[in-house]
Amino acid sequence: MNVDEVTLGSYPRDDVAWAKDGKVREGRATILVRQSDGTLKPAGEVALGDGSVLHPDVEVGGEFIVELRARFESQIFERRVTFIASGDEASDIFVSAIGPGGHAEPKAGLFKRARYSGFEFGVLVMAAMTEQGTRLTGTSDPLVKHGPGDGVAAVSAT
C-alpha cells in the first residue's frame, strides 16, 4: 500500500480580512476517508478563520470526501466533493469553495491588508485530483477568481 499525505486547509486563509459590515460568515469542512470496506472514516475538520491544516493519510488512488457547509447571513451553502489522492503535491492543487462569491475592497489601514465583501468558503487541497475542484494556476490574488461551474456554488442549499 502506497500511502501519501494529502494537505488540506481552509480557504480563504490568513491573508483575507472580511469587511466589518456585521454580516455573519461561518464555514466548516469535514474530511472523510473511504476505508477498504467502503465505509467513510472521519479524518478531521477545518473551519473558516482557524488557520489549521490537516494531513490525512490517504492511499494513492484512494478516495476521500470533503463536506463543505457555510452560512452567509441567512443563506446556507452545502456541497460534498469527492477527491482521489494523487501523491503529487507539486502539481495537483485544487480549491473547492461555496458561497455567493467575494470581491476585493480598496486596500486600507496600516498594513494594507486585502479586505473582502461578500463571502466564499472552502478548502485548498494539495496532492489530490477531482473533477469538481478548481485547479490553481499561477494566481497571486488572495481569493481565486471563479467562473461558472468552477467549483463555487452559485445557489444556496436552502
Whole-number pLDDT of residue 90: 80
Domain-located, residue 158: no
Contacts for 49 with CB less than 8 Å, ≥ 6 apart: 10
Q: How many CB atoms lie within 10 A of CB 42?
A: 11
C-alpha cell at 3: 500511502
Range of the domain at 113: 3-153
φ, ψ at 129 (rounded to 5°): -130, 155
Find, among 102, 142, 128, the residue nearest to 8 by Cα.
128
Whole-number pLDDT of residue 154: 33
Domain-located, residue 20: yes
- Is the model's pTM score more than 0.85? no
In which element (H, E) is residue 153 found? strand 152-153
Task: Quick: pLDDT tens for 61-111.
Answer: 999 999 999 999 999 988 888 899 988 888 888 888 888 877 777 776 676
Q: Are 97 and 40 in contact (CB under 8 A)?
A: no
Domain-located, residue 13: yes
Q: Are 124 and 52 in contact (CB under 8 A)?
A: no
45 by DSSP, 3-state: which?
Answer: strand
Whole-number pLDDT of residue 108: 64
The count of domains in the chain is 1
Domain-located, residue 29: yes
Contacts for 38 with CB less than 8 Å, ≥ 6 apart: none
pLDDT tops 60 at residue 143: no
